[in-house]
Amino acid sequence: MKDKRIAILFLTIFIDLLGFGIIIPILPNLAKEFAAESHLGIQPDIAVGLVAAVFSVIQFLFAPIFGSISDRLGRRPIILGSILVNAVGYLMFGYASSFALLIISRIVSGFGSANISAAQAYIADITSPEERAKKMGIIGAAFGLGFVFGPPIGGWLYDWGMNSVKLEPILQGLSQAQNMQQMAEGMALKRSIGLEYVGIFSAILCLINLVLAWKYLPESIQEKSGVKRKPSETFKGMVTVWSVEIVGELLLINFIYIAAFSMMQINASVLWKEHYGLSPKAIGNIFGIIGIFSAIVQGGLIGVFQKKFGLKRMLLWGAPLCAIGLSIIPLPSREWFYPVQILAIFFLAMGNGFLMPSINSLVSMHSPAGSQGKMMGILQSMGSLARAVGPLFSGILYAQYFALPYLMGGFLMLIVFILALLLNAKLAKNTP
């Protein structure tokens, strides 16, 4: 029964993340274009970070609330409701025609995507501490597979939609001025059709996800908590949890790690387009390669790593691997672009494969009894705050020099390594 629930939860998370992965090759450059057209006075590079930050701030606000509610009402209602909201957010994204509408669509999607804490708590509900790292790797594998298929599908759909609009017949026989005007209008039309293809397809995936979860994903907790937590109490808990031994240190490590990685995750599409001339389809393919590496590491090797190295070493070794991967991304010439990116992807996949499951598992293992949902919600919420801070910081740095976000990300991962080293003594005493 447990294996069946894990399989269904994996499928649910995978479909959810597939819809998210589809927009990755398109969103950053789209935000930059809309910001340039809006005349709102927002520096386009910073606007890219702003769009990512809005999404993540909403996750930050609602993840701990959803986690606490799931302790009281169950995991299933939270997961089902958020999937439906996600479908609405993707439809809004598909019909966004301005920077303001794009922001609104990301707010809605951020609300719908705050369900990951309930999914993590679901896994914690049905697994033993000894198996938890391996099963938490299910979420990492779903992320990875979402990036295997999502970004390439997104790039292909966007390209297909744009190519469905033929400008040549429209431009024939026009004057130069008319030609330029029609060309601008035609490109806007091509972009809007491409977005529609992406948004509608993602919304359909969410509806399929909803049907599968409704039919096959049972509730994971038999005795729901009777404690009613107000939102203010939840956020007060986010302050006091820093004093919990080991958990507080892990929250800080997770925050810096996610902030450093998100600096690359959002900015890379802009870097690859502007400095290496890649199309959305090519950008999607690169993210697909990242997904393949991540799925192999987190889906197939986590159990082997935990058994051979243990959680403490996984936490310690993940940081320098990520530091190397982040730092080399902007360094190659065009001729060496793909070999260096594949090497960077390898280091990032290994580093993430060590860090993400070990942090999740250690937080779960050291959480007070009956608070799995709350603790996972706080962990996810702090990660969402880091995903807001990282892209904003990245946009500011990128506007100064294109390589700075990646070099700074590598530096931050070295700080994570130092913090993990300091925590190692405590983990040796408290972690089995």
Question: Is residue 220 situated within a structural domain?
Answer: no
Residue with tokens 């994996």: 10
Q: What share of the chain in percent tops pLDDT 70?
A: 81
**Spatial CA neighbour of 398 closest among 132, 32, 85, 41:** 32
225 is a domain residue:
no
Q: Tell me the three state secondary structure of residue 165.
A: coil
* Count of positions (residues) in the chain: 432
Question: Is 200 within a domain?
Answer: yes
Question: Does residue 343 belong to any structural domain of this protein?
Answer: yes
Among 288-292, 332-336, 370-374, 392-396, whose mean pLDDT is lowest?
Answer: 370-374
Q: Is residue 1 predicted with pLDDT exceeding 50? A: no
Mean of pLDDT values over 353-359: 83
Q: What's residue 180's pLDDT? A: 58
CA 363/CA 121 separation, integer angstroms: 11
Tokens of 106: 């990301």
pLDDT average, residue stretch 403-431: 86
CA distance 53 to 75: 26
CA 417 – CA 420 distance, rounded (Å): 5
Side-chain half-sphere CA neighbours of 79 within 13 A: 33
Alpha helices by DSSP H, listed for 217-334, are 231-240, 247-276, 280-295, 302-309, 311-328
Any residues with CB less than 8 A from the CB of 59 and at least 6 apart, and which?
110, 113, 114, 380, 381, 384, 387
**Which range (136-140, 145-149, 284-288, 384-388) has the least confidence?**
136-140
DSSP assignment, residue 368?
P
Please, which pLDDT band fits residue 90 given cuts at 50, 70 and 90?
very high
> Higher confidence at residue 259 or residue 249?
259
| Domain assignment of residue 87, yes or no | yes
Q: CB count, 10 Å around CB of 310?
A: 17
Per-residue pLDDT at 12: 74
Inter-residue contact 375 to 296 (CB < 8 Å): no
Residue pLDDT, tens place only, 365-413: 777 666 666 677 677 778 878 988 999 999 899 989 999 999 999 999 9
Predicted confidence band at 15 (pLDDT cuts at 50, 70, 90)? confident
pTM: 0.78
Q: Is residue 222 part of a domain?
A: no
Closest CA relative to residue 68, chosen from 108, 114, 127 = 114
Residue 298: name the closest of 223, 353, 352, 341 by CA: 353
Contacts of 61 by beta carbon, 8 Å cutoff, 6+ apart = 114, 381
Spatial separation of the C-alpha atoms in residues 302 and 315, rounded to whole Å: 12
Distances (CA, A) of 309 to 38, 139, 414: 52, 21, 20
Average model confidence (pLDDT) across the chain: 81
**Residue 432 domain-assigned (yes or no):** no
Is the distance from CB of 369 to CB of 225 less than 8 angstroms?
A: no
Reported as a pLDDT band with limits 50, 70 and 90, residue 71 is confident
pLDDT of residue 170: 54
Q: Residue 38 in contact with residue 99, Cβ under 8 Å?
A: yes
CATH number at residue 22: 1.20.1250.20
Q: What is the pLDDT of residue 37?
A: 84
Give me the sign of the Cα torsion angle 262, 266, 271, 273. Answer: positive
Q: Work out how many domains the chain is built from and give that number.
A: 1
Sequence-ordered alpha helix ranges (H) in 217-246: 231-240
The reply to whether 223 falls in a domain is: no
Q: What is the mean pLDDT of residues 275-302?
A: 81
Token output for 379:
């962990």
94-107 tens-digit pLDDT: 999 889 999 999 99
**What is the per-residue pLDDT across 125-143, written as a single tens digit (0 to 9) for each?**
777 776 766 677 676 667 6
In terms of residue numbers, what domain contains 360? 2-215+231-426
Q: Is the dihedral of CA 33, 39, 45, 47 positive or negative?
A: negative
Residue by residue, DSSP assigns 192-211 as HHHHHHHHHHHHHHHHHHHH
CA distance 333 to 136: 38
What pLDDT is recorded for position 92? Answer: 94
Q: Check if the beta carbon of residue 140 is closer than 8 Å to that of residue 357.
A: yes
Dig out the tokens for 127 from the structure: 């697994």
- From first CA to last CA, the distance across the chain in angstroms is 27
Nearest to 397 by CA among 388, 408, 389, 387: 408
Taking the C-alpha atoms of residue 187 and residue 181, their distance in angstroms, rounded to an integer, is 10
pLDDT surpasses 80 at 47: yes
Closest CA to 352 of 147, 182, 189, 203: 147
